[in-house]
Structure 1
Amino acid sequence: MSTELQTQENNYPAQLTNFEKGLVTFLENHNLPTTGIFVGVEERLRVFSNVDYVIKQLDPEMTTKSVYLAKFLAASASGLFDASLNYLWDETILQLRKRVAQFDLEYFYDNTVGGDKRKSFRSEEDLVKLPDSDLINGAKEIELISDVGHRHLVHINYMRN
Structure 2
Amino acid sequence: MPNWLQPLLQRMAQETAAVGPGQGANHVLLNVYRSGEGIMPHQDGPLYHPGVCILSLAAPAVMRFTRKRSSTDNESSGGRERLVASVALMPRSLLVFCGDAYHSCLHGIDEVDAEMLDETVVNMAALPQPGDTVLQRGGERFSLTVRRVLRTKNVLGLRK
TM-score (norm 1): 0.24
Instruction: Report which of the two has the higher share of strand.
Output: 2
Max Rg structure: 1
Instruction: Report which of the two has the higher share of helix.
Output: 1
- Between 1 and 2, higher relative CO (CA 8 Å, sep ≥ 6) is seen in 2
TM-score (norm 2): 0.24
